[in-house]
Structures are given as C-alpha cells and as structure tokens.
Structure 1
Amino acid sequence: MKFVRRRRDPVEVNLTPLIDVVFLLLIFFMVSTTFETRQALELTLPDSVSGVALEVSPVTLVVTEQGRYRLGERELSAGELGQALSAEAEQARQHGLVVEADARAAHADVVRALDQAGVHGIHQVRIATRETQATSMQAETP
C-alpha cells in the first residue's frame, strides 16, 4: 500500500514583531530611567546674586548640615577629610575644587574644609551657590 506524503511547508519565524517589541522596550527604559550621578543627598545651597555658572569640576566636596563631608562617593567625618583630600589633591590643583556647602551647615565645617584644601595646596576653590529667585525674575523682565 502506497501512502501519499503530504508536502509540508517550511517553517519560518518572522522576527519583525520581535524586533519591534525589543525596540519599544529599549525606548521605554531609556525614557523612564533617570541618569543621576549623585546619591540621594539633599542640599540647600545658599543664594547668590553675582554667581556665575561654571562647568562641573571633577573634584567636588560636599558639606552637609550635620557636619559630614562627601568627596566623590565616599562619606567622610572631619578626621578623615584631610586624608581623602590628599588623595584627590593633584587633580584638584589642576582643575580646582568645588565646595557644595548646605546653607544650614555650620560655618566651622566649611572653614575646616577650606583649611584642609589650603594645607594640600589647593588654591583654586569655588563655592557652589544657587541663583536667587529675584535675580532670575529681573533677568527675564525687559
């Protein structure tokens, strides 16, 4: 007995819908992701009328309200500040040091940071501020 063999069509996988879904997921994650380099650290910078916008310095020292310091990703106490600044001193001498002090930080904590910068030969120090609301409103008004 002879059976008739049915000819099977070749199986094809259409990748076009799969590629579309992958691109949509990629776009979704790119749009919904925030790219923030700093950890969650809430600072209230002091106001300044004559501040000038500058590019971001590679060496930034943050002084918190509680008297703690942050250099890069490391959180430091007052005793560790000198050693941490000495490790970053060469780069800070070349590009400068930006001190981001909270507006409610004690003056002594900021002075301690500036003193340690001077000890390590860092003379180009900038203090980060934010533009006052009155100044920005005046600049917009003709």
Structure 2
Amino acid sequence: MGRFREMAADDSSDVGVDISPLIDCVFILLIFFIVTTTFVEETGVEVDKPQAASSVQLEKTSILLALTDKGEVIYGGREIGFSGIRQLVKRTLQKEDVPVIIQVDAAADSGLLVRVIDEAQLGGATKVSLATRKPQS
C-alpha cells in the first residue's frame, strides 16, 4: 500500500497543461487580423443617398466627400466648405492617385453638386463618382 501512495503523489505533481503555445497562437492570430484589417474612412455625416440601378462597388481607397441637404461639404467629420475641396484633392493626389466619391443627399441642390464636382476636377481629380444605394428588389 505504501508504494501506491508514493506513485500517486509523483503522478499528481507532473500533471499540468502548458498553455503558453496556445497563448502564442492567439497573439499571432490577433496580430494577423490587426495588420490585415482595412479601415473604411467615412465622411462623418449621414446622407440620404439616391437609388440607382447601375450602382457598383468602388475602390476602398478614395477621397470621400459628403454634400448635405443644407449645402454643407463634409470631409472626415468636419465641414470644409467649397473652398477646401480643391486643396484637399490636390494634397491627396500628390501622395496617391485615388478617385473622388461624393455622397450627395437626395434633397441637395443640383447646382451645389455641380460646384463640388467642378472643384474636385480643378483640384486634379480625373475620376469623380457619386455614391448611390442599390434599389430594394
């Protein structure tokens, strides 16, 4: 009986699960997902986009402007006005050639939309698109 107790005591001291490889794997996965995640930059204002049957998905990297129903031009959550569009487009296009996407509210004045498009083109944009939503089918 004495030998049995000694063997049982030795076995219990060696029992244990080494979780350090599991922690390593979790951290490697976490780093992988952080590095590969692409962040979509929003304009910072909600606009009621018009519907279009020809809507297509555009590139993720772009200059995203918003034109509200009150006539405000928004970029990155702050109002830049019509005078800020040209400088913004010039500065961004110096780093990388990206399209300009305008999220225009359905109730916005069309004359203001033409002015935003014109300012973007004067800033050097060669591709200016309008953001729409697909109609519900």
Pick the TM interval, shorter chain: 0.5 to 0.7
Of residues 66, 71, 88, the one that matches 2:92 is 88
Return the letter of the residue paired with 2:54: S
Return the letter of the residue paired with 1:79: S
Structure 1, unaligned stretches of length 5 or more? 1-34, 138-142
1:116 matched to 2:112: no
CA contact (8 A) 1:61 1:100 kept: yes
SS at match of 1:130: coil
CA distance in 2, matches of 1:122, 1:61: 13
Pairs aligned (count)? 99
Over 3 Å counting, the alpha-carbon distance change for 1:45 and 1:122 in structure 2 is same
- Superposition TM-score, scaled by structure 1 size: 0.59
Q: What's the CA shift for 1:95?
A: 1.9
Structure 2, unaligned stretches of length 5 or more? 1-38
CA contact (8 A) 1:67 1:109 kept: yes
Q: What's the CA shift for 1:118?
A: 1.4
Aligned to 1:125: 128
Q: CA RMSD in A?
A: 2.4
1:44 matched to 2:35: no
Aligned to 1:74: 78
Aligned to 1:55: 59
- Superposition TM-score, scaled by structure 2 size: 0.61
**Percent of pairs with identical residues:** 27
Aligned to 2:14: none
Over 3 Å counting, the alpha-carbon distance change for 1:112 and 1:91 in structure 2 is farther
Return the letter of the residue paired with 1:109: L
Q: What's the CA shift for 1:89?
A: 3.3
SS at match of 1:95: coil
